[in-house]
Structure formats: C-alpha cells, structure tokens
Chain A
Amino acid sequence: MTGWIEKNRSILDFTLSSLLRRKGKNLSLFAVYTLVVFMLGSAMFLTQAMKREAALILKDAPEIVVQRLLGGRYDPIPLEYSEKIRAIRGVSTAGPRLWGYYYDPVIGANYTLMVPRTDAPPPEKIIIGSGVSRSRKAGQGDIFSFRGYDGDNRNFTVAGELSPESELVSADLILMAEADFRGLFGFPAGQATDIVVSVRNPKEVLTIARKVAELLPDTRPIVRDEMVRTYDSVFDWRGGIVVVLLMMALLAFVIFAWEKASGLSADEKREIGILKAIGWETSDVIAVKAYEGLLVSFFSFSAGLLAAYGHVFFFSAFLFVPALKGWSVLYPEYRITPFIDLYQVAVLFFLTVVPYTVATIIPSWRAAIIDPDSVMRS
C-alpha cells in the first residue's frame, strides 16, 4: 500500500514536470478548456436560476386569471363579472385587477403600471421597482412625467421603492392609485384589466375554469399550471438556443482536445519508449498520461466553473443577457440569486473531463504497448 502511494507520488511528480515542459501546449489547452467550461457553465447556471425565479414568481400567482375576449383579442373586463364568478360554487375570492404597460421613451423600455389591490399609493404618488429606479436613477421624491392617452403630461412623485425580493417580476413595476391609472390610460370606469380568482380546493381549479367559461362565454380563464408550463418552455427554449450553440462549442472543443492531446509528437512517443525500456510498465505510462489529462481537466474545469459562477451571480450574466432577456433593458441590472444544481455540474463534468481524459489516454495507450526495443534503434 505505501509502495503504491510512493509510486503514484513519484509518477505524479514526473507528470508535473512533464506538464511544465510543454508549457505552451498545455497553457493553450487550459485556456480553451476553461473558456468552454465557462460558457457551458454560465448557460447552465443562468437557465437554472431563471427557472427557479419563474417558479418563485408563479408560486404567488393567482390560480385562475380571467380575461375578456372581443373578436378573439384581449379586451377590458366589466367589474360585475367578478360578482358573477364569485357566485360559482367552490370560488373563494374573485377580484378585478388594473394593470398595463407604459413605454418610456427616455430609457426605451416598457414599465408595468399596476394598481395594487391593497395599500395603493395616494393620488399622484407612485412606488417604483428597483429596475425602474436604477435605469432612471430615481429615488424617493423624484418626479416622473407620463404622457397620457390624451397627450397631456401627468406628473407623479416617487413615494417609495419595492423591495427587490424577486426582481424578475418587480424590476419594471410601477404602482399607482386607481384614479391616476384610469386617468392616464383613459381606462373606462366599471372595467378592469382582468379578474383573479382563487378556489377553495386546488383539485377543482380546472372544473371552475370550465364553469367560468360556460357562464361567461366571452371570457378566457387562464390556469396557473398552464402559465408554469409556458414559463418553463420559455426558459427552456431560451436556454435551448444557448445550449445548441454551446453544443457546437463543445464539439469544437472535443476536436481541439483530440487534436492537441492525442497527436503524440515524435518526442513524446520516443519518451514513452524510453520509459518502457528502463522498466516502466504500460500501466505506469498510461498513469502519467491519465494524471496529465486529469490535472489539466481539473484545473480548467474548476477555473471555468468559478468564472461562470462569478459571471452569472455576481456580474448578472452580462455576456448572455442580450441573448437571453433581450425583451427589456430593465432586467440586465438584476442580480440572480446564487443557486447550484449539483446534478448539472456533474453532467458538465462528465461532458468535458471524461472525453478529454480519454482523448489523452487512448493514443498514449497505443504508444505504450509498443515493444520497448524500438528505442534501441531511434
């Protein structure tokens, strides 16, 4: 046992000086390797974190949202519809919501304007989300001027900021009073944007949704689970594009690794012959190459993964944001809650370290089984 340890220590020693000998080759390997792990890791961390974020948002989302359709398009919903829905058996609450989008030409982004159902700000006061406050560099007491439906400007004073609990939803949010909202958009009295419904027994959600559709044929009920699926597919789809790109990067990497690691130079082959001639076994030679592959892999993998972690969670994935969340300029600022899925890390590990190490070992194995006497005539 101690013999085995000493032997491997010595072999590792030799491996290290071997690696240092071919600095150029190994450094370029390290750089490319690290870059690939960095990209794959960033994509992985980001999509994972976004899925989690979405799940977080939807946890508090209403079970059913009822919209009114007119000619197959969304239309404001009459307030009395909520009474009719509340009368359905199994519905515990049903209430109207007022919200909409406002395009701010100053920063070229859409805000979500909303009237909260409780604790609405007083007239001419607004509460803004952190994304809004960052991009407009605005805080308490600052004044926002919005152009209304009639072309008149209306001024609102910032009364406070939303706590950035889940930034993905609240970043672009602005809360205001009902009268201000209706006045700004010219939203007719007696109508709301949609109606949110909660049910007593979660198992009845689908039944109640069907009842709503029967009772009010001009409406469309949207069930939360459907939204969960939509979100999932959005993030998967967005992650999916990146994953396809990165698969290509991975493929390029495999080719690169094969080229770099497998092409044993004449010098390396000769060296293997020398080692065999002075009494190294085939397995000892392969151990050197395996250590070599593992060392390069391990350090590149760790470096790449660390960089990806920093990129996504400390620098908000700034390199990927244009690709992943291009729909709003408010989001890029937000910081993702650190979260690591060990399963995915393991998958990444096996996608990079294993092929690389195999690419290192196989050619040396072929060289290592040559007869040692070949070095006697070189």
Chain B
Amino acid sequence: MIKLLNVRKGFNLGRPNEFIAVGGVTLAMEANRVTVLKGPSGSGKTTLLSLIGCMARPTSGRITLRRGLLAGGYFPGGADAPEVEVTSLPERFLTEVRRRTFGFIFQQFNLVKGITVLENVMLPAYPLGEAHGAVKKRAHALLEMFDLAGRAVAKVEWLSGGEAQRVAIARALMNDPPVIIADEPTAHLDSKLSVAFMEIIARLKEQGKTAVIASHDPLVFGAPMVDRVVAVRDGLIDGEGQ
C-alpha cells in the first residue's frame, strides 16, 4: 500500500516563475494492483511518479509505504510500525528505497549507451555489493525471460524499440522490486508492442507485483489487467475510472 496525503510539489518557489505542478493530492494505491495515472500533457503525472518513487521530495504533504514494501535494510520509525513515512527519511534511505522498492521504466528507456545489454541490466545491482557472478546469472535469467538471451552482448544502440523497452523492463526488475513505476511506457511503441508491454505487466501482477503507470494511451488505461484509472488534471485528482 502506497499512500499520498495532501501532497504538493512546487517548482522555483518564491521566484517569478514559481509553478505548482502537484497541488494537494491524496491517493492510496493498493498492493498487487495495476494503477494508471491518466491525464493530458503537463497535468503532473511525471511529477507524481517521481514523488511516489522517492526521486524527489514533495513541497508539503506525506507519502507512506507499507513496511512490507521496504525489503532489506533498516528503516527508522520503529520495527513494528506498519507504515513508514518516506518523505521524512534521510537521503541515504531514499537511495535504498529507490534501489530495492521501486523499479523504474522511463519514457525514453534511458539505457546507458556504449555498453552491452547485459551490463545495462546489471547496473542497478552494482551498488548492492552482491557477488558479480550471481548478479550476472540473475541478469541472464531476466534476459531469457524477455526473449533477449541472444542480444546479451549487443550494444544498446543496436536494439529495436521493442527490444530496448524490454531491456528497460529487465533492468527495472533487476533488484526484484515489489513496485514497478512506468512513465508513458508505450509512447515510443506501436500498438502491437504496446499490447505486448501490457501483457508483461499482467505477468508481473500475477507474480504479486504492484504497478503504477502514467499514460494517456487508451491501449494502456483500457487494458484488461488495469485495476484502477486515476484521472489527473492541473496537478489535482480529477476523478476515477475510465
């Protein structure tokens, strides 16, 4: 369970170009569900995702995570507290949360150019200090799962759009995070590949993962495995459902 309580995010506060991107959002997302944030361009979807994923801190308001989502590591707030407020955690804990709790799939895929597919998938595991061999094995297994076994040593710039997308997914899953966050995952895909992507999301949901996706693509928010669609407009929740 991920809860947002009256979360606001402003940019350039106190300056002439001050801008409130998220203006007081209260929202609870169930675990093991697929939630889609839907809204027009500039409505604040990406900003919301980065707040949920602990990539940025809200200007005000609180975000809490169910303790079960915080695999590994010790987090303050009492060992028995059912929920941890992430908004007040020091930076090093936020890094830990980004590593272990969330897997990010970016709109532009954001793969590291010049190195191989395999290395890209392994990257999130490097700071964890696991044995190199074990990491490699896990990465190979993920590539296998996404039909990329043959492309392991290819450089990422040689990949087709669909392949790059799947490498990005594999990388997001590298540290086995309970929550997947995807920002406009189908923006660069044709409809066939978009449908394939949503099938992968369905598979991950079957494995017990939670997904939060920002998209205004009907192929995404209209897909059968989506449990909930939240409409966002001008930085505010603008109703539920399709």
Contact B130–A279 (Cβ < 8 Å):
no
Chain A residues positioned under 8 Å from B111 (CB to CB): 274
Contact yes or no, B126 A7, CB < 8 A: yes
Q: Which residue of A lies closest to B115 (CB)?
A: A17
Chain A contacts for B95, CB-based, 8 A: 279-281
Give 14 CB contacts A-B under 8 Å: A4-B129, A7-B126, A7-B129, A10-B126, A10-B129, A11-B126, A14-B126, A267-B113, A278-B99, A278-B171, A279-B127, A280-B126, A376-B46, A376-B50
Residues of A contacting B: mostly? helix
A375 contacts chain B at the CB level, 8 A cutoff: yes
A284 pairs with B104, CB closer than 8 A: no
B residues less than 8 Å from A7 (CB atoms): 126-129
Not counting A10-B122, A271-B113, A279-B124, a sample of 20 additional A-B residue pairs whose C-beta atoms are within 8 angstroms of each other reads: A3-B128, A4-B129, A6-B131, A7-B126, A7-B129, A10-B135, A11-B126, A17-B114, A17-B115, A17-B119, A18-B115, A21-B114, A21-B115, A277-B106, A279-B96, A279-B99, A372-B55, A373-B50, A375-B110, A376-B183
Residues of B with C-beta under 8 A to A270? 110
- Once the chains are docked, how many angstroms separate the CA of A14 from the CA of B122? 10
A residues less than 8 Å from B127 (CB atoms): 7, 11, 279-281, 284
A377 contacts the other chain (Cβ, under 8 Å)? yes
Interface string of A1-44 (1 = CB under 8 A from B): 01111110111011001100110000000000000000000000
B13 at the binding interface (Cβ < 8 Å): no
Which residues of chain B have C-beta atoms less than 8 A from A18's C-beta? Answer: 114-115
A118 within 8 A of B: no
State whether the Cβ of A275 lies closer than 8 Å to any Cβ in chain B: yes
- Give the nearest-CB partner of A377 in chain B: B46
Nearest 9 interchain pairs by C-beta: A279-B99, A3-B129, A21-B114, A7-B129, A373-B55, A373-B50, A10-B126, A373-B56, A278-B124
**B129 & A277 in contact (Cβ 8 Å cutoff):** no
A32 and B125 alpha carbons, distance in the complex (Å): 36
A277 to B99: give the CA distance in the assembly, Å: 9
A3–B73 Cα gap in the complex (Å)?
14
Interface of B toward A, CB cutoff 8 Å: 46, 49-50, 55-56, 92, 95-96, 98-100, 104, 106-108, 110-116, 119, 122-132, 135, 171, 175, 183
Instruction: With a 10 A CB-CB cut-off, give which of B95, B100, B175 has the most chain A CB atoms.
Output: B95
A241–B89 alpha-carbon span in the complex (Å): 59
8 Å CB contact of B98 from A9, A10, A279 = A279
B210 → chain A closest CB, angstroms: 18
A376 in contact with B55 given A7-B126, A17-B115, A274-B112 (CB within 8 Å)? yes
Pairwise interchain contact B114-A6, C-beta atoms closer than 8 A: no
Asked whether, in the complex, the Cβ of B98 is within 8 Å of the Cβ of A378, the reply is no
> Which A residues lie within 8 Å of B131 (CB)?
2, 6
Which residues of chain A (259-302) have a CB below 8 Å from chain B? 267, 270-271, 274-275, 277-281, 284
CB-defined contacts of B46 to chain A, threshold 8 Å: 376-377
Interface residues of A in 91-144 (CB under 8 A from B): none
Distance of A105 Cα from B59 Cα, bound (Å): 89
